Amino acid sequence: MWKLARLVAASNFRRARPFSTAIPLPCIVHKRGADILHDPWFNKDTGFPLTERDRLGLRGLLPPRVISFQQQYARFMESYRSLERNTMGQPEGVVSLAKWRILNRLHDRNETLYYRVLIDNIKDFAPVIYTPTVGLVCQNYSGLFRRPRGMYFSAKDKGEMMSMIYNWPAHQVDMIVITDGSRILGLGDLGVQGIGIPIGKLDMYVAAAGINPQRVLPIMLDVGTNNKKLLEDPLYLGLRQPRLEGAEYLAIVDEFMEAVHTRWPKAIVQFEDFQAKWAFETLERYRGRFCMFNDDVQGTAGVALAGLLGTVRAQGRPLSDFSNQKIVVVGAGSAGLGVLKMAVQAVSRMSGNNETSAKKQFFVLDKDGLITKARKNLDPAAAPFAKELADVEGLREGSSLIEVVKTLKPHVLLGLSGVGGIFNEEVLKAMRGSDSPRPAIFAMSNPTMNAECTAADAFKHAGDNIVFASGSPFENVDLGNGRVGHVNQANNMYLFPGYGLLFTDVSAMRMLEILEVYNF
Ligand SMILES: NC(=O)c1ccc[n+]([C@@H]2O[C@H](COP(=O)([O-])OP(=O)(O)OC[C@H]3O[C@@H](n4cnc5c(N)ncnc54)[C@H](O)[C@@H]3O)[C@@H](O)[C@H]2O)c1
Ligand SMILES: O=C(O)C[C@H](O)C(=O)O
Ligand SMILES: [Mg+2]
């Protein structure tokens, strides 16, 4: 996958810009002197040749020696490797944040060099600029803040957004990732600090899909936070008020969507890490009018489905056997329900049966256990997947995870609950009784500490023959005797850069048509 992503990225960058020195300017640069050195889009640091130093008023503002792009690259990588050596043995969080800081400083200074090192070292750097480290960055964002990135629209900006959007310096924007910070990974409400997520996602768009970095825009929609700790933190950078709800909330999102599409009618807006109720509501509200999608609902579904089909192949069975797999999804939020919807559609199309019949093999649990039609106050979003009691013999409304696994003997156990360790020893051991010769365990919650189980525990307790995937990266597991327990990563990052690449190459209307065709 990474090889493919790098090929795509490399070919796009070649097409868009020869990357050996720096980004050719898409328009005439009106800046001069120190303003250019302080603009990460155009800055080449000590790489400015003497002729450019004369032309751009840089003479005397830089040390005399010209250091080539390649030399700067080698210098950065040496600093990074020496940081790795010097922090060996220190706590993981400290090391990850130190790595993030050094990359972030480069991002703020010289984007050309930043994206070059990111593309060339994507496997090493993705866990630093994206999941899982980005979670830690969001948790500490107010303290880590040095320079703004992206745009911040707050509830206090109501009525001003249409003019504010023109404050963004780029003429064209193709790809926007927006969050309201209400459900950042499995870490809950992080308010304005959630901006780290759109930044990390858009870095992946640039690195893996070759999207022009000057045409991406991370957005934070700050409608307040219900996180008490943040509200009491004197350094907290967001609005110090409870989250807006209901019509007041929607009015803010409506105004933002109007503003953004007035200025850039073809920009694609990716909704990210909104709490489930707003994830579903905004998707329904805007999908017919704007070029938008919800990554947690739709991106996750695509990646999970690919993993589920891959599991069938890993079992040595024909893909059509997918229709016979018993699948237990743990977590009935934006991600879990998104996966269920797409997987049911897939089974229905593959088997030719209607969706009611395709649903039979899927079972879903939330914090109150197995979801059945007998549930009082059944969440309308989960209702289509609630089981008839008659269809779950030996189980009841609210059956626990262990009861479900022991009774159903599922082929697949897929976690999108945000609850770390919920696939405990007992549950994993029960998966040994699965009806599948190669049961699949997908611990998709993020970041690492929220994963339903670790890779090591999965292989230890559920057996060597499982197919394992996780949302956050884990190392392969040494099973002894030279055998390896392979860890696959099931994270929507394997899909959304592709959406961007596809949809920025087609017109906005065509995107809507594509989404329609795939009943997305
Ligand atoms: N790997 C990926 O690509 C990917 C994509 C999206 C979301 N995620 C992760 O999935 C997790 C959930 O995301 P979401 O948007 O669906 O969150 P959400 O808050 O919308 O949903 C969480 C669901 O888990 C349920 N739950 C909570 N405790 C539970 C328990 N003890 N047992 C069973 N279910 C329980 C809740 O009732 C709810 O239905 C997060 O950790 C997120 O980071 C991963
Ligand atoms: O951000 C990620 O790593 C995946 C996903 O979008 C999530 O919310 O966990
Ligand atoms: Mg997300």
Residue nearest to atom 7 of ligand 2 (CA): 185
CB of residue 295 inside a 6 A radius of ligand 2: yes
What pLDDT does 27 receive? Answer: 53
Is it the case that residue 228 has pLDDT exceeding 50? Answer: yes
Residue 513 counted as an annotated binding residue: no
Q: Which atom of ligand 2 is nearest to the CA of 491?
A: 4
How many residues does this entry show for the chain?
Answer: 520
Residue nearest to atom 29 of ligand 1 (CA): 367
Mean pLDDT of the chain: 92
What pLDDT does 514 receive? Answer: 57
Residue corresponding to tokens 């976690």: 415
Is it the case that residue 15 has pLDDT exceeding 90? Answer: no
User: What is the pLDDT averaged over residues 38-50?
Assistant: 96
pLDDT tens across 66-104, in order?
Answer: 999 999 999 999 999 999 999 999 999 999 999 999 999
Q: Is the ipTM of this complex over 0.90?
A: yes
- Is 340:362 a contact under the CB 8 Å cutoff? yes
- Joined together, the tokens standing for residue 367 give 């914090």
CB of residue 131 inside a 6 A radius of ligand 2: yes
Residue nearest to atom 27 of ligand 1 (CA): 367
User: What is the pLDDT averaged over residues 264-268?
Assistant: 94
User: What is the pLDDT averaged over residues 226-234?
Assistant: 98
29 pLDDT band, cuts 50/70/90, is confident
Half-sphere exposure of residue 239, counting CA atoms within 13 Å on the CB side?
19
The residues that are catalytic are 130, 201
What pLDDT does 511 receive? Answer: 59
Taking CA atoms, 259 is separated from 154, 216, 262, 280, in Å, by 14, 16, 5, 21
30 pLDDT band, cuts 50/70/90, is confident
Q: Which ligand is nearest to the CA of 334?
A: 1
Is it the case that residue 124 has pLDDT exceeding 80? Answer: yes
Rounded to the nearest 5°, which phi and psi values hold at 370? -60, 130
Q: Which ligand is nearest to the CA of 335?
A: 1
Residue 6 counted as an annotated binding residue: no
User: What is the pLDDT averaged over residues 200-223?
Assistant: 96
Residue 157 counted as an annotated binding residue: no
Cα(451) to ligand 1 centroid in Å equals 10
Sequential DSSP letters for 122-157:
HHHHHHHHSTTHHHHHHHTHHHH--S--SEEEEGGG
Residue nearest to atom 2 of ligand 2 (CA): 131
Q: How far is it, in rounded angstroms, from Cα 468 to Cα 357?
A: 28
Pocket of ligand 1 (CB under 6 A): 183, 185-186, 276, 296, 300, 303, 330-336, 365-367, 416-419, 422, 444-446, 450, 471, 490-492
Q: Which atom of ligand 2 is nearest to the CA of 132?
A: 3
Which residues fall within 8 angstroms of residue 510, CB to CB, at 6 or more apart?
none
116's enclosing H/E stretch is: helix 111-120
Q: How far is it, in rounded angstroms, from Cα 121 to Cα 133?
A: 16
Give percent above pLDDT 70 in the chain: 92
User: What is the pLDDT averaged over residues 203-232?
Assistant: 96
What pLDDT does 13 receive? Answer: 32
What pLDDT does 277 receive? Answer: 97
Q: How far is it, in rounded angstroms, from Cα 222 to Cα 195?
A: 10
User: What is the pLDDT averaged over residues 414-435?
Assistant: 98
What pLDDT does 139 receive? Answer: 98
Q: How far is it, in rounded angstroms, from Cα 307 to Cα 365?
A: 20
| Mutation probe of ligand 2 site: the residue of 337, 491, 495 with most atoms within 8 A of C-beta | 491
Q: How far is it, in rounded angstroms, from Cα 488 to Cα 485?
A: 10
Cα(81) to ligand 3 centroid in Å equals 30
Residue 296 counted as an annotated binding residue: yes
Cα(472) to ligand 1 centroid in Å equals 14
Residue 317 counted as an annotated binding residue: no
Q: Which atom of ligand 2 is nearest to the CA of 295?
A: 6
Taking CA atoms, 461 is separated from 135, 415, 418, 438, in Å, by 28, 17, 21, 14
pLDDT tens across 272-301, in order?
Answer: 999 999 999 999 999 999 999 999 999 999
Q: How far is it, in rounded angstroms, from Cα 457 to Cα 441?
A: 11
Residue 446 counted as an annotated binding residue: yes
Q: Which residue has the higher pLDDT, 485 or 12?
A: 485
Cα(72) to ligand 2 centroid in Å equals 32
